[in-house]
Amino acid sequence: MRPDTLNPLFAESDTLEGVGPKLRKPLNKLGLTRIRDVAYHLPDRFVQRRAIADLDEGVVGEQVVVALTPFEHRASPNQRAPHRVLAHDAKGNVCALVYFGKAAFTARKLFPPGEVRWVAGRLEQYDQWLQIVHPEHVADTSAGLLGHLIEPVYPLAEGLTQPKLADFVHQALARLPELPEWIEPGLLDRHGWPGWRDALVLAHRGEHQAARDRLAYDELFANALALMLVRADNRRRRGQPLAGDGRLRDTLALPFPLTGAQRRAIGEIEGDLTQTAPMLRLLQGDVGSGKTVVALEAMLVAVEAGAQAAMLAPTELLARQHFDTLQRFAAPTGVRIALLTGRDKGRVREAILMDLLNGTIDILVGTHAIFQDSVAYRNLALVVIDEQHRFGVGQRLLLTQKGKVTPHCLAMTATPIPRTLTLAQYGEMYVSRLDELPPGRQAIDTRVVALDRLSEVIDGLARHLDGGQQAYWVCPMVRGEHEDDDLAAAETRFATLRARFGDQVELVHGQLRAEQKDAAMERFAAGDARLLVATTVIEVGVDVPNATLMVVEQAERFGLAQLHQLRGRVGRGSEKSVCLLLRGEALSEVGRQRLALLRETQDGFRLAEADLELRGGGELLGTRQSGDTPFRLAELEQIQRLLPIAHDDARLLVERDGGLTGPRGEAARLLLYLFERDWGVQLLRGG
């Protein structure tokens, strides 16, 4: 339960004065659903204004505050021309205040001729005229404006204005409770950081690096602490030491020798499994690096030791595919593998549950359905989680807590994240890296093509399909607001392609029913369908070796990691593969560089590092789609600079006060709630 002190922060943002149903929408769009979010909605930048006594003092292009007296209104002669208010300063210099469109009405009200007004805005020159277009503030006394010569500029959404948002922030800041300090005093001193509440207020008031750093540090510390608690909790738990005798693994019929990296990873996992402490290991390997076989070997160790293993996939599609692969490879071993997804109901499900409980099933593959309360295992000793990044850490914890004995946990991810971010994402998890691809993989020919060459691309696609090969066509699915448009885009593209290529074209997207999706995928995997139009549901794991062409539409809308994953769907067989990145017209410089990077390299880790550097160039983390850092506040540079400190500090705190019961521990609990890392707190109680 969240401590009461924090209640004001978690009140809905429509409790702010002036927020009704209409403004609720743009606020939600910005993620500002609670008072806390509004208070943490930090400005992108600040405008700095200078108060000048008269226009002679002003510099063209500068933001100024100046007293002006209007003397004439020149109404707009037509729709396009602006309304001009002519005004003079104390010395008689003339300046035009320019208003376009409907704002002309406001202008008449704001500037009664002959009355002095204080005006804030950007001084410009138009022909020989000085002018200010749409002054940002107009006041009849100097008081308000001269007090705000520095003004925050907030990220906006349609329907909101800067003054409105500034007002909401102001209200939110007024509601901040006084909270005890969770940062170690020495650290605060060393960096000259303000206290929490002051930091928030200062960060809205001006460029205040120390305040921003402190706030970012809070977030990093909250994350590090929560992960540290997971680690500590895991150390306290008892796992089941698993020593396999190799009898099942020896009979495996793999059609290929394992790579060195695979053997190394398996060795590391085997080592962990013999321990009493439950394993907490991350298997990181680029798309196609062969993680599935490593998982199979690990699960066979559990079965050899007389226990059960479970493998969790993020989608039904992947669960089914894993099930097929595992069955194929493990057939000679006689191990019993079952599939359980949310689709299995009634008697089928009952039968599986029964066999799970009596131990007839050795390995269960499925979606999160395999960890529902009603699912009981006879002796579950190992959990493999595929595409770990799709599951929250919290969810992972719930999984591993089933039963008196904690199962070992192997998490797998194909998202190659840079080393600095590994710490942020996974804390002190042990990591095995598959840094070597199976032999014989061909480089994928990657090209960036302008979208206006679509018809050529489709002709090329026709030749490709005629040649007997298969292809993917991916349309963007950006998280959040555009989902409907994107779906429409995929459906429209599907319609045009189907008109040309007939029923060898299939469509999959997240809003189809699971059966429809699977049916389409199965037709594609079997080669009956030759072209698969899809949103990013095919992003992870799908394996069809005969598919050798990948077309990604509006590639600039995808994160680099995501594009890399998509590209990894081809190049899986012996044929040469091609990836075409179709770019829209409005491509930013960073966007262009990113696509160029993809063309240059196929090494996921190199891509991740390079992407990180590109982003150092000022793009905000919050705007990216790949979701590769768990932070909303801390920017990349701050993560790199402050995370190691946060990490050490968190370790120290947990070593000294593992139950978080001391004064600083209590404060740190508040912090965990503040950043919604309270699964960390839950562990304290559970342990």
List of residues contacting ligand ADP (CB under 6 A): 256, 258-259, 262, 285, 287-293, 414, 438, 541, 543, 572
Q: Which two tokens stand for residue 430?
A: 């042990």
Closest separation between CB of residue 11 and ligand ADP, Å? Answer: 45
CB atoms within 10 A of CB 600: 12
Distance CA 550, CA 571 (A): 10
Nearer to ligand ADP, 289 or 315 (CB): 289
Going by their DSSP bridges, the two strands 150-153 and 547-552 should be labelled as unpaired
Nearer to Mg ion, 194 or 541 (CB): 541
Amino acid letter at 354? M
Q: Which residue do the tokens 């069955």 mark?
A: 327
Per the CB < 8 A criterion, the answer to whether 167 and 154 are in contact is no
CB atoms within 10 A of CB 80: 8
Q: Which does 256 bind (CB under 5 to 8 A by kind): ligand ADP, Mg ion, none?
A: ligand ADP
Nearer to Mg ion, 322 or 669 (CB): 322
Let me know how long the chain is.
Answer: 687
Closest separation between CB of residue 255 and ligand ADP, Å? Answer: 7
Closest separation between CB of residue 254 and ligand ADP, Å? Answer: 8
Nearer to ligand ADP, 45 or 328 (CB): 328
Q: In the sheet where 531-534 sits, what is the strand order? A: 444-450, 577-583, 547-552, 470-474, 531-534, 505-508
Going by their DSSP bridges, the two strands 363-366 and 337-340 should be labelled as parallel
Phi, psi of 677 (to 5 degrees): -110, 35
Q: Which two tokens stand for residue 176?
A: 């901040």
Q: What single string gives the DSSP state of each residue in 489-556? A: HHHHHHHHHHHHHGGGEEEE-TTS-HHHHHHHHHHHHTTSS-EEEE-GGGSSS---TTEEEEEETTGG
* Residue of closest CB approach to Mg ion: 541
Number of alpha carbons in the 13 Å side-chain half-sphere of residue 409: 27
Q: Which does 649 bind (CB under 5 to 8 A by kind): Mg ion, ligand ADP, none?
A: none
Closest separation between CB of residue 528 and ligand ADP, Å? Answer: 20
Going by their DSSP bridges, the two strands 94-99 and 430-434 should be labelled as unpaired
Q: Which does 406 bind (CB under 5 to 8 A by kind): ligand ADP, Mg ion, none?
A: none
Q: Which does 285 bind (CB under 5 to 8 A by kind): ligand ADP, Mg ion, none?
A: ligand ADP
Q: 539 to 578, contacts with Mg ion by CB under 5 A?
A: 541
Nearer to Mg ion, 572 or 669 (CB): 572
Binding span for Mg ion by CB under 5 A among 93-101, 208-216, 356-364, 533-541: 533-541
Closest separation between CB of residue 499 and ligand ADP, Å? Answer: 33
3-state secondary structure of 50: strand
* Residue of closest CB approach to ligand ADP: 290
Binding residues with Mg ion: total (CB under 5 A): 1
Nearer to ligand ADP, 157 or 258 (CB): 258
Q: Which does 438 bind (CB under 5 to 8 A by kind): ligand ADP, Mg ion, none?
A: ligand ADP
In the DSSP assignment, the letter for residue 481 is T
Nearer to ligand ADP, 407 or 416 (CB): 416
In degrees, rounded to 5, the angle at the alpha carbon of residue 360 between the alpha carbons of residues 355 and 364 is: 75
Nearer to ligand ADP, 42 or 431 (CB): 431
Phi, psi of 331 (to 5 degrees): -50, -50
Nearer to ligand ADP, 55 or 293 (CB): 293
Per the CB < 8 A criterion, the answer to whether 411 and 279 are in contact is no
Q: Which does 13 bind (CB under 5 to 8 A by kind): Mg ion, ligand ADP, none?
A: none
Per the CB < 8 A criterion, the answer to whether 567 and 548 are in contact is no
Closest separation between CB of residue 292 and Mg ion, Å? Answer: 5
Distance CA 615, CA 421 (A): 13
Nearer to Mg ion, 145 or 542 (CB): 542
Which residues, including other chains, have CB under 8 Å from residue 44's CB and lie 6 or more apart?
Answer: 153, 154, 155, 620
Closest separation between CB of residue 318 and ligand ADP, Å? Answer: 9
Task: List beta partners, residue 50.
Answer: 64
Nearer to Mg ion, 171 or 284 (CB): 284
Distance CA 454, CA 669 (A): 55
Closest separation between CB of residue 321 and ligand ADP, Å? Answer: 8
Q: Which does 567 bind (CB under 5 to 8 A by kind): ligand ADP, Mg ion, none?
A: none
Nearer to ligand ADP, 285 or 314 (CB): 285
Q: Which does 293 bind (CB under 5 to 8 A by kind): ligand ADP, Mg ion, none?
A: ligand ADP
Binding span for Mg ion by CB under 5 A among 11-19, 468-476, 494-502, 537-545: 537-545
CA distances from 79 to 102, 104, 105, 535, 664 (A): 10, 11, 14, 43, 64
Closest separation between CB of residue 258 and ligand ADP, Å? Answer: 5
Going by their DSSP bridges, the two strands 124-126 and 129-133 should be labelled as antiparallel
Q: Which does 121 bind (CB under 5 to 8 A by kind): ligand ADP, Mg ion, none?
A: none
Closest separation between CB of residue 539 and Mg ion, Å? Answer: 11
Q: What single string gives the DSSP state of each residue in 379-393? A: SEEEEEETTGGGS-H
Closest separation between CB of residue 257 and ligand ADP, Å? Answer: 6
Q: Which does 665 bind (CB under 5 to 8 A by kind): ligand ADP, Mg ion, none?
A: none
Closest separation between CB of residue 309 and Mg ion, Å? Answer: 16
Q: Which does 287 bind (CB under 5 to 8 A by kind): Mg ion, ligand ADP, none?
A: ligand ADP
Distance CA 522, CA 538 (A): 13
Closest separation between CB of residue 291 and Mg ion, Å? Answer: 5
Distance CA 195, CA 51 (A): 32
Q: Which does 289 bind (CB under 5 to 8 A by kind): Mg ion, ligand ADP, none?
A: ligand ADP
Q: Which does 543 bind (CB under 5 to 8 A by kind): Mg ion, ligand ADP, none?
A: ligand ADP
CB atoms within 10 A of CB 663: 11
Binding span for Mg ion by CB under 5 A among 90-98, 535-543, 558-566, 615-623: 535-543
Distance CA 469, CA 413 (A): 29
Q: Which residues bind Mg ion (CB under 5 A)?
A: 541
